C-alpha cells in the first residue's frame, strides 16, 4: 500500500467514526426535540439518518475499494479486511451499489413531502396514516431494482479477472479467490464491445437522471409554494419559519450527496466507456463518498432552529465540563509539588463555583 492509498484509508476510517458520533445523537435529537408542527416529517428525517448510519456501518465492516482501469471499474470487497463470512460479501457488494439509488429515492420522497406541505395538499394525509409505510418502502423498492439490474448486467468475466489480478491484486499480495467484485468491462478485448454492461449502465444512468430531475422539479415547486405560503397563509410566523428552515436544510442535504456521490459516480460510470478509467480519480471518489455520511446531517442540525438550540445547549454543558476537568487536572498535578496542600484545597471550591457556572456567551437559545 503506497502513501496515497494509506491516506485514503485513514480518511475513510476517520469519517466512519465521525458518522457514528453524529448520526446516533442526531436520531435521538429528531425523536425527542422535534416540535409537533413537523408531523410525519420527523420520521422521514429519522429515515435519512438511519440510512446514512447503516451506510457507515457497512463501510467500516467491509472496507469497499473502487478500482478503475481503462474500460472497466469494479467495487471490490476483500475478505481479509472483514470478519464477515465470505458468502456474505457479494450480497453486501450489491447492497452498496443499491444504496446509491436508494439515497436519491429518499431525497426525492422528502422533496415530495415538503412540496405537499407548502402547497397544503390533501395528499399530505397519506404521510400521516398507515400509507406512510408505502412512502418509506418506495426507496427500498427502487434500490432493489437497482441491485437486480446490477446483478444481471455488471458481472465479472475472465478478461476482467486477469486485468484485476495484474493491475491491482498482485501488488497487494491478494489472490482472486479472496475477493468479490461487481462492475462492468465495456471492452474486454481489443475491438470487442460487451453490450450487456453497456445496457445495464445506460439503464442505471437513466434512473440517476430521473431522480435528479424529480429532486430539482419538486425543490423548485416547493420554493414557489413557500413564497405563496409566506404571503397568504394565516399560520403563525413560527410555523412559516420552521417550514422554510426544513426546506433550506433539505436542499443543502440534497446538494451534498449530489456533489460527493452522484456527480463523481456518474464520472466513474462514463470515463471507462471512453477507456479513460483512472485509479487516482477512483481514490478521490472513495474519499468523497466517505465524507457524505459525515457532512450530510449537518444542515439538519445547524439550519433547523429547534435542533440547533438543543445542540448549542449540550455543547455549552460539555464545554463547561471540559473546563472543569482541565482545571481539576491542573489542581491534581500541582498538589503533588506544593507543600501547602490544605491552602490549595481551600481555594479550589471557589474555582469550582466559577467553573460550573454556565457560560452565558455560549447560550444561543
DSSP string for 158-208: HHHHHHHIIIIIGGGT--GGGEEEE--BS-SSTT---HHHHHHHHHHHHHH
* Residues of the chain falling short of pLDDT 70: 1-2, 4-5, 129, 229-236, 239-240, 316-365
pLDDT at residue number 151: 93
Q: What is the DSSP letter of 357?
A: S
Cell match 423498492: residue? 141
Average pLDDT, the chain: 78
- Express each pLDDT in 261-276 by its tens digit: 777 777 777 888 888 8
Sheet holding 72-78, edge to edge: 65-69, 72-78, 179-182
Location of C-alpha cell 454492461:
197
pLDDT at 95: 93
- Cα 223 from Cα 216, distance rounded (Å): 11
pLDDT per residue over 60-112, tens digit each? 788 888 888 888 888 899 898 888 999 999 999 999 889 888 888 888 888 88
The residues with which 75 forms a beta bridge, in sequence order, are 66, 182
- Does the domain formed by 3-303 have CATH 3.40.50.20? no
In the beta sheet, which residues pair with residue 277?
Answer: 70
Q: How far apart are CA 216 and CA 222, in angstroms?
A: 10
**pLDDT tens for residues 324-355?**
454 445 445 444 544 444 444 444 444 444 43
The three-state DSSP-derived secondary structure of 224-276 is HHHHHHHHHCCCCHHHHHHHHHHHHHHHHHHHHHHHHHHHHHHHHHHHHHHCC
Amino acid at each position: 500500500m503506497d502513501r496515497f492509498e494509506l491516506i485514503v484509508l485513514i480518511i475513510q476510517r476517520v469519517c466512519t467514526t465521525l458518522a457514528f458520533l453524529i448520526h446516533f445523537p442526531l436520531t435521538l435529537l429528531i425523536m425527542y426535540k422535534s416540535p409537533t408542527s413537523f408531523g410525519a416529517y420527523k420520521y422521514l428525517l429519522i429515515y435519512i439518518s438511519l440510512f446514512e448510519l447503516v451506510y457507515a456501518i457497512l463501510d467500516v465492516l467491509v472496507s469497499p475499494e473502487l478500482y478503475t482501469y481503462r474500460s472497466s471499474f469494479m467495487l471490490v470487497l476483500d475478505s481479509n479486511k472483514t470478519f464477515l463470512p465470505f458468502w456474505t460479501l457479494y450480497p453486501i457488494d450489491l447492497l452498496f451499489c443499491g444504496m446509491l439509488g436508494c439515497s436519491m429515492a429518499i431525497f426525492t420522497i422528502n422533496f415530495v413531502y415538503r412540496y405537499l406541505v407548502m402547497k397544503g395538499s390533501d395528499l399530505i394525509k397519506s404521510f400521516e396514516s398507515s400509507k406512510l409505510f408505502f412512502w418509506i418502502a418506495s426507496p427500498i423498492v427502487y434500490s432493489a431494482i437497482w441491485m437486480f439490474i446490477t446483478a444481471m448486467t455488471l458481472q465479472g468475466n475472465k478478461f476482467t479477472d486477469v486485468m484485476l489480478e495484474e493491475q491491482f491484486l498482485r501488488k497487494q499480495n491478494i489472490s482472486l479467490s479472496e475477493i468479490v467484485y461487481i462492475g462492468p468491462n465495456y471492452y474486454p478485448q481489443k475491438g470487442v464491445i460487451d453490450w450487456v454492461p453497456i445496457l445495464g449502465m445506460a439503464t442505471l444512468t437513466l434512473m440517476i437522471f430521473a431522480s435528479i430531475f424529480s429532486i430539482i422539479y419538486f425543490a423548485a415547486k416547493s420554493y414557489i409554494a413557500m413564497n405563496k405560503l409566506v404571503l397568504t397563509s394565516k399560520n403563525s410566523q413560527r410555523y412559516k419559519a420552521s417550514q422554510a428552515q426544513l426546506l433550506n436544510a433539505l436542499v443543502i442535504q440534497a446538494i451534498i450527496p449530489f456533489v460527493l456521490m452522484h456527480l463523481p459516480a456518474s464520472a466513474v460510470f462514463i470515463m471507462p466507456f471512453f477507456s479513460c478509467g483512472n485509479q487516482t480519480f477512483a481514490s478521490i471518489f472513495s474519499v468523497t463518498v466517505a465524507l457524505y455520511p459525515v457532512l450530510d446531517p449537518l444542515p439538519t442540525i445547524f439550519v433547523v432552529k429547534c435542533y440547533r438550540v438543543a445542540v448549542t445547549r449540550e455543547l455549552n454543558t460539555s464545554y463547561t465540563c471540559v473546563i472543569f476537568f482541565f482545571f481539576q487536572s491542573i489542581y491534581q498535578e500541582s498538589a503533588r509539588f506544593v507543600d501547602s496542600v490544605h491552602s490549595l484545597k481551600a481555594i479550589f471550591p471557589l474555582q469550582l463555583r466559577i467553573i460550573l457556572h454556565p457560560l452565558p456567551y455560549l447560550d444561543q437559545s
